[in-house]
Structure 1
Amino acid sequence: MKIIAWNCQGIEGDLTVDNLMEQNRLHTPDIVILLETKNNSRNYVHLKRRLQMEHLFAVEPRGIGGGLCVFWREDVQVILMNSEEFMIELKLWDETLNCYWRLFAIYASTDERKRRIQWKSLSKRIEQDKERCLILGDFNDILCNEENEGGNYRGAASMRDFRGFVAGNDLMDLGYEGYPFTWRNNRESLPIQQRLDHGLVTHGWHDLYPDTIIRHVVLEGSDHAMLLLSTEKFRVWRGRKFSFDGRWSKTNECRELVVGEWKDKISGSHAYRFYEKIKTLRKSLKLWYKENSKNSKKKVEHLKAEIRVALQSKEFSSEAFKQKERDLIAAHKDEGVYWKVKSRNQWLKEDDKNTKFFHAQTLKRRRLNLIRGIEDSHGEWHEEDKEINETAIAYFAKLFQSSRPSQIDDIVRNVEARITPEDNNVLTAPVTTAEIVLAVSQIPLSRAPGPDGFSGCFYQDH
């Protein structure tokens, strides 16, 4: 699925139509959303034909501003649910995933008081079925000062309404690729740039389309960038990265595996023996996890199904039923611990019932950490994995490469020594066992200290 959303500020200009036609030809979107159209819907018929779209729905502008229009193709199954002055709500059917989801095309008011009313109205619509929703368009507001360049600093109070709308509906920002701002005032004096256009989703929608990308497409002759949303991205499967799960340490099978692998005799230096044992143990744990199906989410669903069957059974056993309930409580706790580790959150406890919060934190962290592309020293953009690797290696190789300055010895001789002989002896002394134990005990339990995937709890527990 590809969607274009653009505040075109009127669709009659030649450059506006040319830009739209070019992006339509390049990306072949399934849906096109135009905001602030400033034109009556009867003027859209020719545009629908040029876009090769079969359907359209428009909200008429009021006065000289406003207006929204949505075009979609014949093969996109759409139901019009609702429309208001600032938004169009559509319900779409995904045949591949066999489910519905809702799309809200937004053009929020520039007036703060009106926006406050619009957020309340939109929240009511989302609340009716907030499982799978995408809210896309021009919100005419920012979420933080990083989305604002130039002009006055925004206080937290001025962003409270928009932030409250996002938090109150448990929405995620899909982020973006490309230029960080979507609007500029095009003034030479006191230029201002802001990210006014967003793609916000519920967690259920993100679960359906986890690879969704939004690109900011800067267009000539327009002070608004176009949003190009794509739910699909080809990704090469490299296998699942190993990460030690702190819950494993509580099982006898895991402890026996660790003891067994550590008893194996391997020749070589101490560092080599440690490396080989960790590598072998990692393989053994992955195999053990696979064979024993330690997925707590599946266990929760399985236990729920068993409890439903037990309630409907004629041969009801009170003790067996209570045991399944105890197992379900334990499985829920395991699921919460799992998502806490994934979220890297350090200030909530394991027994806090915040699985949904941890899940949201994990999704947010993954989106922030994912490198979709990189710019090299020549200003060229690369998205292929091989090119990203080569660009990163070239950057750090140059950064840490000596420029071979001349007369370096003369310069060093004139630098005053800051480290005393006594300090140097302490710094160069062999590392003691007590220092190693102290360092290991200070590693946060849910953090992985290196690429081996073993978190702090592994070294502290074993």
Structure 2
Amino acid sequence: MGAACIRERLDRALCSHPWIDRFPDTLVKHFTDQGSDHRGLLLSDKAYTRNSRPLFRFDARWADNPEVRAMVNYVWKEEIQGTPMFRLWERLKRLRHLLYDWSRAGTTNSLRNIKTLQAEIERIKLVHPVDWDEVRNLEFELNRQWEAEEIYKQLKSRVRWLKKGDQNSSYFHTVTRARRKRNFVAGLRSDNGDWVTEELGKADIATNFYQCLFTSETHVPNMAERVDNLPISQSITP
């Protein structure tokens, strides 16, 4: 083995999309590989419940929103003391809190906005005489909300070839569920060696790790010195 050891996962569990739909909380546990190259697998359908609020993620639909741009400008103009990396980390943290509170207001829900606009358009058309200017303005906003919903589906499924006007989202929901299963983190190892599976505990471990990473002074070795010490005179073999 030695330094040239190559590790590769030999044992894994595979499932189909209908399986994910029927058993969405399925987990696979890998046992230790003592005395063998293989690991035993334990399939569990125990439901997993989240006790904390969902993780914050930036929504691609917000990129062109003037309110979001105003919040970014506001945060980036604030005076923050510290290293450049710490200032960046602090600004991103403050911006995240602002965006989270702003998104909780409900104005970013495309499907909800679409239903509201459709109902308003129908209401105006029932009134005589019809205010067609208002109808056209609402229809313009309705098209913008449909585009935002398609961007949301594209972001969630990470399918870059989503065509404009395609309203069939069942495929994208399936892909999103599959990605959520792959990205799930069952537990994290703490600094003292404990295996932590609770949501709050995992969040604390991740937060402390990146906080130490961004706030501590990282030792950067002299790369020129490293290059000088390389055995470049040694002949190169294929």
Give the match for residue 188 of structure 1. none
Give the match for residue 64 of structure 1. none
Residue 157 (structure 2) pairs with residue 343 (structure 1): yes
Taking structure 2 as the reference length, what is the TM-score of the superposition? 0.59
Give the match for residue 213 of structure 1. 26
Instruction: Quote how far apart the aligned CAs of 1:358 are.
Output: 3.1
- CA distance 1:266–1:324, change in 2 (3 Å): same
Instruction: Quote how far apart the aligned CAs of 1:242 are.
Output: 1.3
Residue 81 (structure 2) pairs with residue 291 (structure 1): no
Give the match for residue 353 of structure 1. 166
1:333 pairs with 128, 141, 147, which one? 147
Deviation string, structure 1 residues 89-138 (Cα, Å, up to 9, x no partner): xxxxxxxxxxxxxxxxxxxxxxxxxxxxxxxxxxxxxxxxxxxxxxxxxx
Measure the CA separation in 2 of the matches of 1:237 and 1:296: 26
- Which amino acid is 1:239 matched to? R
Instruction: Quote how far apart the aligned CAs of 1:369 are.
Output: 2.5
**Higher normalized helix content (fraction of residues):** 2
Deviation string, structure 1 residues 403-448 (Cα, Å, up to 9, x no partner): xxxxxxxxxxxxx93568xxxxxxxxxxxxxxxxxxxxxxxxxxxx
1:200 pairs with 6, 13, 18, which one? 18
- SS of the residue corresponding to residue 18 of structure 2 reads strand
Identity score, percent: 24
- Which amino acid is 1:293 matched to? T
Give the match for residue 3 of structure 2. none
Gap regions ≥5 residues in structure 2:
1-10, 29-42, 189-194, 207-228, 234-238
- SS of the residue corresponding to residue 54 of structure 2 reads coil
Measure the CA separation in 2 of the matches of 1:256 and 1:248: 12
Aligned residues: 177
Instruction: Quote how far apart the aligned CAs of 1:264 are.
Output: 0.8
Give the match for residue 169 of structure 1. none
* Kept in 2: contact 1:257–1:284 (CA 8 A): yes
1:236 pairs with 50, 53, 56, which one? 50
Taking structure 1 as the reference length, what is the TM-score of the superposition? 0.32
Deviation string, structure 1 residues 186-241 (Cα, Å, up to 9, x no partner): xxxxxxxxx8xx68279xxx4xx7844388xxxxxxxxxxxx996x7241322121
Give the match for residue 197 of structure 2. 385
**Higher normalized strand content (fraction of residues):** 1
State which structure, 1 or 2, has the greater radius of gyration over its C-alpha atoms: 1
Kindly report the root-mean-square deviation, in angstroms, between the aligned alpha carbons of the 2 structures.
4.0
Give the match for residue 121 of structure 2. 307
For residues 95-174 of structure 1, the aligned pairs below 5 Å read: none
- CA distance 1:210–1:246, change in 2 (3 Å): farther
Give the match for residue 117 of structure 1. none
Larger relative contact order (C-alpha < 8 A, sep ≥ 6)?
Answer: 2
2:179 pairs with 353, 365, 374, which one? 365
Measure the CA separation in 2 of the matches of 1:248 and 1:303: 19
Gap regions ≥5 residues in structure 1:
1-177, 182-194, 216-227, 375-381, 394-415, 421-462
Measure the CA separation in 1 of the matches of 2:97 and 2:232: 45
Instruction: Quote how far apart the aligned CAs of 1:315 are.
Output: 4.5
- Which amino acid is 1:335 matched to? E
Give the match for residue 225 of structure 2. none
1:255 pairs with 53, 64, 69, which one? 69
Give the match for residue 317 of structure 1. 131
